[in-house]
């Protein structure tokens, strides 16, 4: 069964058609890259999948259920995780606190206004486990605002998948990373649960094609090619977009 | 320093009636009611970065419920009245919370102010609430099964002290709780909290209602202290004073109540020496805001941690 399905989605803002009849499906374990030039509608598509934007037409399904009108937080609770184009953590909190916030969303006692956070033993022991698994223990008490950018990126992905989820959306995971940090990030993504479906965007096409099992090439809001990384790279439209520019490729 | 503040405040509170006269005890009690308004504003500002300029709406609602309870509804149990005030205030605060919580800081400030002014306008025209005359003849009720005589100024001071201490402790516990952690995280990044599965709007509304309840308790205590309820209890000066106290206290919980008491004394002292005492107090507030603003600016240096919202508000004020 498809874990995430964007079915003929369109997005029109004002008179501008951002996406037109785009269909993307993800099965468990897929790592699908959305690639394309600037203005291709990749981020808009990602936002429609996450629930930040509602498509003007078309449907979004998560685990077979129609979630087109479902808000972001309810999609998240149904197993949709995401990271952001610009790292989006809680900078005044420590690494451990960031993970605790991510983990306790499923804990009914999070609503208890009188239970000291520091005494939620089960939560903090789970945080410690997660820190150890992701090699973040050494920086657990560091404020996130003081972390190196690569560590922030890593933490964002670890926090996003800290609770049970079936699909993760990664928005430009490699942006701003050094080559060494990019390798660490790749290891992290390759080390994720093999059943977890990953949909991601990256401007670095080489990185995207290395990371992906499947590729969707977008141009001017429409899908122009789909296939494995090798297949898409061999298509003439791919060369036209990346060598001659998006407008030429459409002609 | 802040660790010494709590025991010092407790000792000062318990010992106050032994060193102060009845008038001064009244001033301290008044300071406690202002402290509760400031605490309610502190909670939203510190945890959610929401600067309210309309908490007079809830202070005033609490005061009117207190006044109506004894003048119209023949209710003579202060605990029942406190519960009723919190309940009515929650009903009043809910629509404000639902709208204001969706807005950014400036929008939040303006909408809370607008709602408070709407309520004040209503109180000025509604005869049930006494119109522009307010509610007079507000007597102090009994303390239910405890048989405490609240008409005695010292006893009423201790009652107000215990209620204030309970509110301070409650807010301190909430700040340290998982719920408080979630509120701080919402302050840091709403979009991320949504992406993690949190219903951000519900948390913000819950925090707003809790904050409004504390302001309402302050309104009840104030109504029985001055034995009068006025439409001015819903006015912007109440909210402004609360916000100023929070800024002067530098965002510290216990210091907020202490500063409220000290400023009440300061106002009395200034007014007994000069008719321009409001200008003196205004100059004092500006000086403190400038100092806090400088502190806030220093905290915003790139290498420093994220600035506290209270310092940021002070920085913008200066």
The Cα–Cα gap between B198 and B192 comes to 9
The Cα–Cα gap between B318 and B315 comes to 5
Nearest partner of A43 among A156, A169, A167, A171, judged by Cα: A171
- Compute the nearest-CA separation of B294 from chain A (Å): 20
- Out of B174, B181, B197, name the one closest to residue A97 (CB): B181
The Cα–Cα gap between A123 and A100 comes to 7
With both helix axes pointing from N to C terminus, report the angle between B22-48 and B178-188 in degrees, rounded to the nearest 10: 60
Helix boundaries (H) for chain B: 2-19, 22-48, 56-71, 78-100, 105-125, 153-176, 178-188, 190-196, 200-226, 236-248, 253-273, 277-299, 309-317
Which residue in chain B has the smallest CA separation from A87? B192
Which residue in chain B has the smallest CA separation from A101? B182
Given a contact cutoff of 8 angstroms between Cβ atoms, the answer to whether B240 and B109 are in contact is: no
Question: What values do phi and psi take at B33, rounded to 5?
Answer: -65, -40
pLDDT tens column, B245-304: 888 887 788 888 999 999 898 888 888 888 887 787 778 777 877 776 565 555 544 443
pLDDT tens column, B56-77: 999 999 999 999 999 999 888 9
ipTM (interface predicted TM): 0.86
| Neighbouring residues of A62: CB distance < 8 A, sequence distance ≥ 6 | A3, A4, A5, A70, A75, A78, A79, A80, A166, A167
Integer Rg of chain A from CA? 19
The structural domains of chain A, ordered by start, are 4-89+165-250 (3.40.50.300)
pLDDT tens column, B146-204: 778 888 999 999 999 999 999 999 999 999 898 999 999 999 999 999 999 999 999 99
Partner residues linked to B37 by β-bridges: none
Question: What values do phi and psi take at A11, rounded to 5?
Answer: -140, 120
Nearest partner of B43 among B159, B161, B176, B163, judged by Cα: B176
- Compute the nearest-CA separation of B194 from chain A (Å): 5
Contacts of B210 in chain A (CB under 8 A): 113
Contacts of B174 in chain A (CB under 8 A): 113-114
- Is B195 within 8 Å of A77 when comparing Cβ atoms? no
Quote the tokens at residue A169. Answer: 């959306």
Residues of B in CB contact (< 8 Å) with A are: 173-174, 176-182, 184-185, 188-189, 191-200, 210, 305-306
Contacts of B182 in chain A (CB under 8 A): 101, 104, 110
- Is B177 within 8 Å of A115 when comparing Cβ atoms? yes
- Compute the nearest-CA separation of B20 from chain A (Å): 36
pLDDT for residue B298: 52
Nearest partner of B232 among B128, B151, B123, judged by Cα: B123
The Cα–Cα gap between B38 and B211 comes to 10
Number of continuous H segments (helices) and E segments (strands) in chain A:
10, 10
Contacts of A93 in chain B (CB under 8 A): 184-185, 188
**Predicted TM-score (pTM) of this structure:** 0.86
- Compute the nearest-CA separation of B232 from chain A (Å): 33
CB atoms within 10 A of CB B13: 21
Return per-residue pLDDT of chain A as tens, 251 residues: 899 999 999 999 888 899 999 999 999 999 999 999 888 899 999 999 999 999 999 999 999 999 999 999 999 999 999 998 777 888 889 999 999 999 988 777 777 777 888 888 888 999 999 999 888 999 999 999 999 888 898 899 999 998 889 999 998 888 888 888 888 888 888 888 899 999 999 888 888 888 899 999 999 999 999 999 999 989 999 888 887 665 555 54
Question: How far from chain centre, in Å, is Cα A22?
Answer: 18
In degrees, rounded to 5, the angle at the alpha carbon of residue A217 between the alpha carbons of residues A214 and A220 is 160
């Amino acid at each position: 069964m498809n874990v995430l399905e964007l079915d003929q989605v369109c997005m029109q803002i004002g008179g501008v058609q951002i996406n037109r009849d785009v269909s993307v499906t993800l099965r468990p374990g897929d790592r699908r890259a959305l690639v394309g030039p600037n203005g291709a509608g990749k981020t808009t598509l990602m936002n429609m999948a996450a629930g930040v934007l509602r498509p003007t037409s078309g449907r979004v399904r998560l685990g077979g259920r129609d979630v087109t009108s479902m808000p972001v937080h309810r999609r998240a609770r149904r197993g949709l995780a995401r990271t952001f184009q610009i790292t989006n953590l809680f900078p005044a909190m420590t690494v451990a606190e960031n993970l605790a916030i991510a983990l306790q969303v499923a804990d009914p006692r999070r609503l208890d206004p009188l239970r000291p956070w520091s005494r939620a033993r089960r939560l903090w022991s789970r945080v410690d486990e997660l820190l150890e698994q992701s090699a973040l223990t050494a920086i657990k008490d560091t404020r996130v605002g003081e972390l190196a950018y690569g560590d922030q990126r890593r933490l964002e992905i670890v926090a996003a998948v800290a609770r049970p989820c079936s699909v993760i959306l990664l928005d430009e995971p490699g942006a701003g990373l050094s080559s060494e940090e990019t390798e660490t990030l790749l290891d992290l993504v390759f080390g994720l649960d093999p059943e977890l479906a990953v949909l991601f965007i990256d401007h670095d096409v080489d990185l995207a094609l290395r990371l992906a099992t499947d590729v969707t090439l977008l141009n001017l809001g429409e899908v122009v090619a789909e296939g494995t990384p090798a297949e898409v790279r061999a298509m003439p439209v791919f060369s036209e977009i990346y060598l001659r520019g998006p407008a030429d490729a459409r002609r | 320093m802040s660790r010494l503040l709590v025991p010092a405040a407790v000792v000062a509170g318990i010992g106050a009636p032994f060193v102060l006269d009845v008038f001064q005890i009244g001033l301290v009690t008044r300071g406690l009611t202002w402290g509760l308004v400031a605490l309610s504003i502190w909670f939203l500002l510190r945890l959610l970065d929401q600067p309210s300029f309309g908490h007079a709406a809830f202070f005033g609602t609490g005061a009117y419920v207190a006044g109506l309870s004894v003048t119209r509804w023949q209710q003579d149990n202060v605990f029942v009245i406190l519960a009723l005030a919190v309940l009515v205030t929650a009903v009043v605060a809910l629509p404000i919370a639902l709208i204001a919580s969706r807005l950014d800081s400036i929008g939040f400030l303006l909408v809370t102010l607008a709602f408070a002014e709407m309520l004040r306008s209503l109180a000025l025209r509604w005869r049930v609430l006494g119109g522009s005359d307010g509610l007079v003849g507000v007597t102090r009720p009994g303390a239910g099964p405890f048989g405490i005589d609240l008409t005695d100024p010292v006893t009423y001071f201790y009652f107000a002290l215990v209620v204030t201490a309970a509110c301070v402790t409650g807010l301190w516990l909430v700040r340290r709780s998982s719920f408080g952690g979630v509120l701080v995280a919402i302050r840091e990044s709403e979009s991320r909290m949504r992406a993690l599965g949190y219903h951000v709007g519900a948390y913000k509304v819950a925090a707003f209602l809790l904050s409004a309840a504390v302001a309402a308790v302050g309104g009840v205590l104030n109504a029985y202290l001055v034995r009068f309820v006025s439409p001015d209890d819903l006015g912007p000066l109440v909210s402004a004073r609360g916000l100023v106290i929070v800024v002067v206290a530098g965002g510290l919980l216990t210091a907020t109540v202490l500063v409220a008491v000290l400023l009440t004394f300061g106002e009395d002292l200034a007014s007994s020496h000069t008719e321009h005492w409001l200008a003196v107090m205004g100059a004092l507030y500006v000086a403190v805001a400038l100092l806090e603003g400088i502190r806030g600016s220093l905290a915003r240096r790139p290498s420093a941690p994220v600035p506290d919202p209270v310092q940021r508000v002070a920085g913008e004020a200066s």
